[in-house]
Structures are given as C-alpha cells and as structure tokens.
Amino acid sequence: MDHQEKPTRQRKPGGKGNNVKADLIAVVVAVNNSVPCVLTISQANALPSGPFELAHRSLQSGLRGWVEQQTGHPLGYIEQLYTFADRDRIGAEERIISISYLALTQIEDVGAAAKRSWASWYDYFPWEDHRSGAPAVLEYLRPLLREWADSADDTAIRLDRRRRTAIAFGFDNRLWNEEFALQRYELLYEAALVEEAIRGRPSAAPTPVAGKSMIADHRRILATAIARLRSKIKYRPVVFELMPPLFTLLQLQRTVEALSGRLINKPNFRRLIEQQELVEKTGDTTTETGGRPAQLYRFRHDILDERPVAGTKLPLTRA
C-alpha cells in the first residue's frame, strides 16, 4: 500500500497567523494665533483614527467618517501621507497597517465641540520651534545624543551616529534643516530618549526629554506629517488651505513661520508673494492687527489654472 501524505491545511485569510487589519489615521492641522495645532482625541495623546471597514465606500470616505464621528470636525483638504506597516509598530499579535492622511483646515472661532482638542505640535516636538532662536532643549539633548553615539562598540557605528546626529540637529556648525523633523524624532527614538522607545520596559530609566508622548506610533506619524508639510509649503500653495478667506500679508507670513518653525525676512517674503501673483488685494483693510490699517488679501484660486503647478512656489526665505 502506497504511503499517502496528508493534505496540508491552508490557513484562511484573517485566521491565526494571518490576522492583518487596516487602520485609517488623520493628522489634521490648523494654525491658531501663530501656533501650529493638531487635532487630537483621548487625553490629547492620540490622532483621530479607526478601522477601514467593508461599509466604507473608499479610504477617504472612511477617514472622513471616523474624524467627524470622533471630533465633530468635517474635513476639507486631505492628501494621503504614508502607510505604516512595520511588524512591531503596535506591539500586538495582530498586524495592523495604518494608512495615514494629512488634512489642512481652520479652527472655528466659536462652537467647538467639547470632545475636540487642538494641541500645539510643539508640545510634542519642543526642539522644532526655532522662531525665537535655538530652543534650550537642544543644549540638553546634545550631550545625551553624544553619549549615545559614543556608546557603540564599533567605530564605524559611532562615527555614523555622530554624523547623523550632527546633520539632523544642526550640531557641529551645521545648518538647521526644518524638513528633518522625522529624522530627528527617529534618532531620539533610536537613542531611547523618548517615552515611546522605552514603553513597556520596566527596567528602563525615565525619559529625560521634554515633549508629550502619544499612543502607539502616533508621534512618529505626526512627525512625518510635519516634515511633509514643511517641505510642501515651499513648492505648492497649500498654506492657503489654512488661511481665512481674507487675510493680511503679515498673517500669511506668521502662518508660514509657525509651520516651518523659522522666521522669514519680511521684505523678501512680500516681494516673493507679489512676484508669484498668488494673492490679490480686496480693497478692504483691517485694524485687528494693531497699528495702522492693514491691507486685506485673498488667494487667487485661478492661479492654479493659469500656470503649471511647478510655478506656484512659496519658498521659505530665512531671516
């Protein structure tokens, strides 16, 4: 009698060992009184999110539904940010793929829902705001990062850590690059200098770095959004999604500065805005800014139809 092998049992999709779920996560950004804010839920330690379900018509419709349900805030402009799928990112047995989106909006003047919470993104990344010069936390971080770099036994690893730290944080007379927000957070995570890196390790020392933590890897997702937006405002006029219908040039400048964490040379900024013809005068003025009446402007939406996208740049001009 011939020996017959038993058929191999195939695991069904979604069964044990293949339990994969998809989450939708929103980084909703607004600027309020020159403060870049992010919409949060829970104890301001989580981004609005929810599972992608069969009932959702699309990823975007599912995301909009979850955000409005959790915060009461309808979304306007959104774009896909990044898909996070690392196996150990959540720390659970199941695999969760998170599809993140960046949304730009405005904070209502009145009637904000109680469950809606806006927090400055500099509460989570205090080392990112350079509008008043280099923040003091950087001097606190410098020796800690150097100690981490020098703790490597391998010389090549030590040199690589020093190089990456200097580039990301502007140490050793290097220039600060506002677009490296994600690289800076990931270096602090690698050096175990943020709470998320030592979470679940009872023997680990307390986190020595300022900045609020978030659940799971939501702070990494927020850092990704900050880096994307800081880059994008230089070559696309997305900043106007954050502006009211009528605004002054000073309000526009303060919004760009809030997002980038850098000051801008006022005459150069105004000259660039006028040269690019992105805004037009309304003929009205306002005294809300204090001092002399300020001219009110509005964004020229038709500019997007008049010229190629590559020409609608909004460069960041450093002071």
What per-residue confidence (pLDDT) applies to 95?
A: 76
What is the reported pTM?
Answer: 0.87
Q: What's the pLDDT band for 171 if we cut at 50, 70, 90?
A: very high
Q: What is the distance in angstroms between the CA of the first residue and the CA of the last residue of the chain?
A: 88
Q: Percentage of the chain surpassing pLDDT 70? A: 82
Of residues 315 and 236, more confidence is placed in 236
Of residues 292 and 206, more confidence is placed in 292
What per-residue confidence (pLDDT) applies to 89?
A: 59
Q: Percentage of the chain surpassing pLDDT 90? A: 62
Residue 182 has pLDDT above 80, yes or no: yes
| pLDDT tens for each residue of 239-253 | 999 999 999 999 999
| pLDDT tens for each residue of 35-60 | 999 999 988 899 999 998 888 899 99
Highest mean pLDDT among 96-110, 155-169, 186-200, 299-313: 155-169
What per-residue confidence (pLDDT) applies to 21?
A: 86
| pLDDT tens for each residue of 130-155 | 999 999 999 999 999 999 999 999 99
Residue 114's CB is within 10 A of a number of other CB atoms, namely: 6
The CATH class, in words, for 234-311 is: mainly alpha
What per-residue confidence (pLDDT) applies to 178?
A: 96
What per-residue confidence (pLDDT) applies to 152?
A: 96
Residue 272 has pLDDT above 80, yes or no: yes
What per-residue confidence (pLDDT) applies to 309?
A: 53
Evaluate whether 20-121 and 234-311 have a shared fold: no
Q: Label each residue of the chain as H, E or C.
A: CCCCCCCCCCCCCCCCCCCEEEEEEEEEEEEECCEEEEEEECCCCECCEEECCCCCCCHHHHHHHHHHHHHCCCCCEEEEEEEECCCCCCCCCCEEEEEEEEEECCCCCCCCCCCCEEEEHHHCCHHHCCECECCHHHHHHHHHHHHHHHCCCCHHHHHHHHHHHHHHHCCCCCCCCHHHHHHHHHHHHHCCCCHHHHCCCCCCCCCCCCCCCCCCCHHHHHHHHHHHHHHHCCCCCHHHHHCCCCECHHHHHHHHHHHHCCCECHHHHHHHHHHHCCEEEEEEEECCCCCCCEEEEEECCCHHHHCCHHHCCCCCCEC
Name the average pLDDT for the chain: 85
CA angle, 37 as apex, 111 and 270 as ends, to 5°? 105
**Are residues 314 and 235 in contact, defined by beta-carbon separation less than 8 angstroms?**
yes
Question: Any idea where the domains of the chain sit in the sequence?
Answer: 20-121, 126-211, 234-311
Written as six digits, the tokens of 26 are 């929103």
Q: Quickly name the fold that domain 20-121 has.
A: Nucleoside Triphosphate Pyrophosphohydrolase (3.90.79)
Residue 228 has pLDDT above 80, yes or no: yes
Q: What's the pLDDT band for 166 if we cut at 50, 70, 90?
A: very high
Q: Mean of the pLDDT values across residues 193-219? A: 81
